Amino acid sequence: MPVRTLPALPDHRIFQTLAEVAEQTGAEAYVVGGFVRDQVLNKSSKDVDIVVLGDGIAFAEAVSIATKSGTVKVFKTFGTAMLRAGGWELEFVGARKESYSADSRKPSVSPGTLQEDQLRRDFTINAMAFSLNRSDFGALIDPFDGLGDLARKLIRTPTDPIITYSDDPLRMMRAVRFATQLNFSIEAQSLDAIRSQKDRIAIVSMERISVELNKIICSPQPSVGFIHLFNTGLLQSILPEMTALQGVEYVGGKGHKDNFYHTLEVLDNVARLSDDLWLRWAAILHDIAKPETKKFYPDQGWTFHGHEDKGARMIPKLFARLKLPLDGKMKYVQKLVALHLRPIALTKEIATDSAIRRLLFDAGDDIDDLMLLCKCDITSKNPEKVTRYLQNYEKVKVKLVEIEEKDRVRNWQPPISGELIMRTFGINPSREVGQIKNTIREAILEGTIHNNYEEAYLLMVTEGEKLGLTRVDHSASTTSTPRQKAT
């Protein structure tokens, strides 16, 4: 990314207003950080950080009056203030210098100069500033050659990287995140420093780590970030189950694939087709239980039997540890991990209508995402094998559509309810109710009966009689009302 000209502040009234407030209050003010970087990269942004030599909160209050923007949100603990003005999000802080203790990433802060404030920034590309002062309005202040690092596509710290990462270990995650998002390299000295300080990540809250991890996962090619995390040793602290996937074991000349790099290939495949963070998490975790289920048999080679079920059972604890949401997002990932082998199995054999119905029933509305994950999981160094699987995959997709149009079993509920069974036979909740419901469901999924109320009702009566039950309520019959029919 060659930089031919110096960047300039955008020609927008808000920056003129900030300059006018600076002149009226006698304060020095500068736009600093990510907004400046994004201007150079021609990326649009309306989040602006303003550093004030003096009282940043008082400056924010003056800007609020000048722009008639309403209440300033003040964070006294951090000495910062936020203001929304005309679609812009402005954050104000007094210029400061920082010092850290060994057991915390929260610094002791004291007033500082602009250069001291720039020196405390994480990377040179985030340490550039624009002047908002009348004497040099719009001038770029770049004491650490951030502009040059943008041109070189390089992540580098303004000061000794060991100090930078030791002081605030979250910056190690941010280095990987920016390198992945921007497709930049991390300076060799900085990578060495991350390796030496990797254990310091333990003082960072998992919530903050997961925010950065999710940004890496949402990048165009997330494997870049995971390889950095793996090579620096950070991944071992954050997600050791994933590092356990790495490596190939041989017995009698027979080896299995490296499941770590296979997982990254699947993740990148998904990233090319979907922006969904949780589908990408399903790609990351789909083979997570392979190390624990790996066995070698002389007549079969390497097997990972049951890794999909064990992997699904691992998801709740993993999400809890990583401070990821334990709601429907976790359930969604768990379902895809549990089912990810089912479509692939259907590509290796003649897919029966029954198998398709069961897949539709179990996947529900997530069937399309499951099929996408399945397609992305088809990786091999043998192009003929990949081509054959992909052709069969397309056949399965066609059959899924045909069966769904005919039988309507996606998110389907059997047409006979437990309440109707109890009323018909005059019984309370019991094992027999569950048996009858299960028999009806299996019969519909197998295609023994059609998915309609009439046939299901007759089967209910037959099964009840087999269990020694007697009908006591004849009001519900095979001539059901529209309300009783399955939809």
Give the percent of the chain with pLDDT over 90.
Answer: 60
Q: Name, of 113-117, 319-323, 355-359, the range with top average pLDDT.
A: 319-323
Grade residue 350 by pLDDT with cuts at 50, 70 and 90.
low
Q: Quick check: 3 pLDDT over 50?
A: no
Neighbours of 321 (CB within 10 A): 13
270-281: pLDDT as tens digits: 999 999 999 999
311-347: pLDDT as tens digits: 999 999 999 999 999 999 999 999 999 999 988 877 7
Cβ distance 42 to 83 under 8 Å? no
Q: What are phi and psi of 94, to 5 degrees?
A: -75, 145
Whole-angstrom distance, CA of residue 285 vs CA of residue 310: 11
State the Rg of the chain over Cα. 30
205: tokens are: 């809250």
Sign of CA dihedral 68, 69, 74, 80: negative
CB under 8 A, 24+ apart: contacts of 321-329: 321/206, 322/206, 322/209, 322/210, 322/213, 322/238, 322/239, 323/205, 323/206, 323/207, 323/210, 324/210, 324/281, 329/278
Looking at residue 481, its pLDDT comes to 43
Whole-angstrom distance, CA of residue 429 vs CA of residue 55: 70
Q: At 41, which amino acid appears?
A: L
Q: Which residue has the tokens 């997709």?
A: 397
Neighbours of 132 (CB within 10 A): 27
Looking at residue 110, its pLDDT comes to 57
Q: Quick check: 474 pLDDT over 80?
A: no
State the average pLDDT over residues 215-239: 98
Looking at residue 97, its pLDDT comes to 64
Whole-angstrom distance, CA of residue 483 vs CA of residue 487: 9
Cβ distance 45 to 56 under 8 Å? no
Q: Name, of 183-197, 401-415, 423-437, the range with top average pLDDT.
A: 183-197
Cβ distance 95 to 112 under 8 Å? yes
Closest to 229 (Cα-Cα) out of 269, 156, 173: 173
Neighbours of 297 (CB within 10 A): 9
Cβ distance 353 to 379 under 8 Å? no
Whole-angstrom distance, CA of residue 29 vs CA of residue 50: 7
Looking at residue 66, its pLDDT comes to 92
Cβ distance 170 to 105 under 8 Å? yes
Grade residue 103 by pLDDT with cuts at 50, 70 and 90.
low
Neighbours of 454 (CB within 10 A): 15
Looking at residue 482, its pLDDT comes to 39
Helix, strand, coil proportions of the chain in percent (round to 5)? 55, 10, 35
State CA 172 to chain mean position distance. Answer: 19
Q: What does DSSP say about strands 47-53 and 88-94: parallel, antiparallel, or unpaired?
A: parallel
Looking at residue 485, its pLDDT comes to 39
Whole-angstrom distance, CA of residue 199 vs CA of residue 62: 44
Angle 210-51-129 from CA coordinates, rounded to 5°:
85
**Virtual torsion, Cα 332, 335, 341, 344, nearest 10 deg:** -50
116-169: pLDDT as tens digits: 889 989 999 999 999 999 999 999 999 999 999 999 999 999 999 999 999 999
State the average pLDDT over residues 452-465: 89
Looking at residue 5, its pLDDT comes to 53
Least confident range of 92-101, 198-207, 212-221, 373-382: 92-101
State CA 212 to chain mean position distance. Answer: 10
Give the percent of the chain with pLDDT over 70.
Answer: 91
Q: What is the mean pLDDT of the chain?
A: 88
Grade residue 112 by pLDDT with cuts at 50, 70 and 90.
confident
Q: Quick check: 189 pLDDT over 70?
A: yes
